[in-house]
Amino acid sequence: MQVELMTSRRRVLAAGLGSLAALAGCQSDGGTTTRQPTSTRTTDDDSSVVTIDGIAVRKAVTYGSSMGSSGVLTTDGEQYVVASVRADRDISADEFAFAADGRTWSPGLPDTRGGTNRTVAGYDGGPVGVSLGPEEFDWSHLAYAVPSPLSGADARIEYEPTGQTWPLPESDRELLAEPEPAFEILSLDVPDTVTRGEPLSVSLTVKNTTGTLGSFLAAVYWPTTVADDDEATLIERTIAEDARMTIDRDIDTEYAPDPDGEPVTLELRGHVTADREVTVSDPESG
């Protein structure tokens, strides 16, 4: 099965009576994460309830920022554990830990683009204990970066105030112990020039060098001048062992930087990395 998640976040700034208006867009064919609680733990006096469900292990992970670009995290020797959390009282992330192989880890991800991560691996609501402003969410998420591979026979999430634990499902414990996939970039074809407002055609060819079925994940970043973020197109493909795949995408250039003779940089980040310089020109006036 092939799944593609394309996220385009843009904000358009406009002045009107001294106010600031923003336009943001997000498209996804990856669906919405469905949560069905699998574990509920209560405090000793049964006065509050903490629920964790949807625990997942990912060798690479997508995120969506409250300010700026969405993106991906793919780091050699690292994998990610993500879970949804709900509670009927205030809780903080430092009350939770991920434990496996005689070690523990605190929640938190490496540096990501933009502001606070509203979503990680499809789990929304923001990090545990972090306010996202006037919006209220029933759920928040925990996200851990841990070594890969990692012995996961006893892998679990722990909640210190009550001493309760949530073991990972067997399939995720097995995934923890597997090495991360590896991919080779064979080509990245991007035009040298583009006219503002015209689509920028990007063609990427990659090969799965792992020897087993692998999920390829990458983000194509394109700069804008109307906001403090780059637009991101997130791509996920399942590629058979030793197989190659070509992925073609059109990037919206309507809000590309003003041309001044200097090229702008299209960035590819994820399981493979590359940059391409593109000169943006204005359309000829009628």
**DSSP one-letter string for 153-219:** TT-EEEETTTTEEEEPPHHHHHHHTSPPP-EEEEEEE--SEEETTS-EEEEEEEEE-SSS-EEEEEE
pLDDT tens digits, 206-264: 999 998 899 999 999 999 876 656 788 999 999 999 999 999 999 999 988 876 778 99
Which own/partner contact pairs does 122-128 have at CB distance under 8 Å and 24+ positions apart? 122/30, 122/32, 122/33, 122/62, 123/33, 123/54, 123/82, 123/83, 123/84, 124/33, 124/64, 125/84, 126/66, 127/93, 128/85, 128/91, 128/92, 128/93, 128/96
Which residue in 140, 137, 127 sits closest to 53, CA to CA? 140
Q: Tell me phi and psi for residue 172, to 5 degrees.
A: -75, -35
Q: What is the mean pLDDT of each run of 10 residues along the chain (286 residues)?
A: 36 31 32 40 53 92 80 94 90 96 94 82 88 69 96 95 93 94 97 95 97 93 76 93 96 85 92 96 72
Query: What predicted TM-score, i.e. pTM, was given to this entire model?
Result: 0.78
Alpha-carbon distance 189 to 201, whole Å? 8
**Count of C-beta atoms within a 10 Å radius of residue 42:** 14
